[in-house]
């Protein structure tokens, strides 16, 4: 029996984790799986999640992060108890968070295979920027969090914003190993999300998701997936681009899935534009996209578009920012799949397949 430990932080991670479980670890004669998931907090993450016990995880442990950098004995004891077990694989996201840095280091020493799971578009993005102030700040926060919870970490560590830089990682799981630039010489492993259509239905039930209650018509619409843009000026540029698209296609329903970390003032600007229907929920955008027909899906560079629905067209529009000279000079993006059209002019966006 091989023990598998999976740690998730967001609804997107949970969606991927369930995919991984169903495709790789659901045989209970071979695997025992334990899922680590945050407790629902004041920000209401995971508030839409239920029926998780029906998936088949052998154990689900809710981690209480509510005390932040203050000592939480129950949290500390829980993490220490995990170290007493023998784990075949530790699968996680957000490689630079304190708990993952700690568990990867400790479990690696015990022979566990440390696996970085696919986290959106991050494997295909490179930050050509030292960003020393933010890296120093977050590195200090990692040590503070661990020390306050008596989870001692005796090893030099310095956070890196680029992907798969954590020294203890053995395998990097990505959706496209050909495009992923393996700068760290770790072992890349190709994985497929929604390998079976039944996975969409299973995961939809976990999130209590029903497309008909969210979108009136799933045919012939624009579905825009908003993502974090890192720079204030880009948010204004995003508004201008969307307004132009709406002018080019009057009367076409335009739905926008808001990223949970999008600034409130940007959400307010979206809300003031006639014709935009906002979707503000933490349910993964991939579930919406899987239900669309003859529609156009677009985003600046959101990873939600990396799960193809053959009934729709897909567009990344960040090249418009490159043409206008507004794109972040330190952000280098590789397109992981050829079905995603790179748009240099908003007029190139098509509504449906011809």
Bridge-partner residues for 7, per DSSP? 36, 92
Q: Using an 8 Å Cβ cutoff, are 285 and 304 in contact? A: yes
Residue 108 pLDDT level (bands cut at 50, 70, 90): very high
Contact 330, 127 (CB under 8 A): yes
CB-based burial, 64-101: b 16+ in 10 Å, e otherwise:
eeeeeeeebeebeeebeebeeeebbbbbbbbbbbbbbb
Which pLDDT tens digit goes with each residue over 229-241?
988 999 999 999 9
Q: Where are the beta strands (DSSP E) in 88-157?
A: 89-92, 113-116, 125-127
Confidence (pTM): 0.91
Mean of all residue pLDDT scores within the chain: 91
Q: What confidence tens digit (pLDDT) does each residue in 291-346 have? A: 999 999 999 999 899 989 999 999 999 999 999 999 988 888 888 899 999 999 99
* pLDDT on residue 41: 64
Domains of the chain, first to last: 2-190 (3.40.50), 212-348 (3.40.50.2000)
The whole-angstrom separation of Cα 239 and Cα 305 is: 20
* Per-residue pLDDT, 134: 85
Inter-residue contact 299 to 306 (CB < 8 Å): no
Q: Any residues with CB less than 8 A from the CB of 113 and at least 6 apart, and which?
A: 88, 89, 90, 170, 171
Express each pLDDT in 240-273 by its tens digit: 999 999 999 999 999 999 998 899 999 999 999 9
Least confident of 160-164, 220-224, 285-289, 299-303: 160-164
On the question of pLDDT at 33 being above 90, the answer is yes
The pLDDT score that the predictor gives to residue 42 is 45
From residue 283, alpha-carbon distances to 12, 48, 296, 350 in Å are 8, 7, 20, 26
Span 142-185, pLDDT tens digits: 989 999 999 998 888 888 878 888 999 999 999 999 888 888 88
Note the pLDDT tens digit of each residue in 35-53. 999 987 645 678 888 888 8
Q: What share of the chain has pLDDT > 70, as a percent?
A: 98
């Amino acid at each position: 029996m091989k023990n598998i430990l999976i740690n998730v932080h967001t609804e997107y991670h949970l969606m991927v984790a369930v995919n991984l479980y169903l495709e790789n670890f659901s045989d209970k004669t071979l695997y025992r799986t334990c899922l680590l998931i945050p407790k629902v907090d004041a920000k209401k993450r995971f508030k839409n999640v239920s029926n998780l016990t029906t998936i088949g995880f052998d154990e689900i442990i809710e981690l209480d992060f509510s005390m932040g950098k203050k000592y939480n004995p129950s949290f500390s004891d829980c993490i220490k108890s995990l170290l007493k077990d023998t784990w075949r694989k530790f699968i996680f996201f957000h490689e630079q968070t304190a708990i993952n840095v700690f568990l990867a280091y400790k479990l690696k020493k015990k022979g566990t295979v440390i696996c970085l799971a696919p986290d959106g578009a991050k494997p295909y993005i490179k930050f050509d920027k030292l960003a020393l102030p933010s890296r120093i700040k977050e590195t200090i926060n990692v040590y503070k969090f661990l020390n306050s919870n008596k989870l001692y970490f005796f090893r030099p560590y310095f956070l890196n914003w680029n992907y798969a830089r954590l020294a203890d990682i053995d395998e990097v799981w990505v959706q496209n190993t050909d495009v992923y630039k393996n700068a760290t010489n770790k072992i890349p492993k190709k994985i497929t999300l929604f390998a079976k259509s039944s996975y969409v239905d299973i995961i939809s039930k976990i999130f209590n998701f029903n497309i008909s209650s969210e979108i009136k018509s799933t045919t012939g619409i624009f579905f825009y997936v908003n993502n974090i843009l890192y720079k204030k000026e880009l948010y204004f540029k995003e508004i201008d681009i969307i307004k132009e698209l709406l002018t080019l296609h009057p009367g076409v329903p335009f739905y926008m899935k808001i990223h949970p970390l999008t600034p409130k003032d940007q959400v307010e600007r979206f809300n003031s534009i006639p014709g935009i229907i906002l979707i503000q929920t933490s349910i993964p955008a991939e579930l919406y996209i899987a239900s669309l027909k003859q529609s156009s899906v677009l985003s600046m560079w959101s990873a939600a578009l990396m799960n193809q629905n053959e009934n729709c067209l897909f567009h990344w529009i960040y090249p418009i920012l490159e043409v206008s000279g507004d794109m972040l000079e330190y952000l280098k993006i590789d397109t992981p799949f050829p079905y995603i059209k790179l748009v240099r002019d908003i007029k190139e966006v098509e509504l449906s397949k011809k």
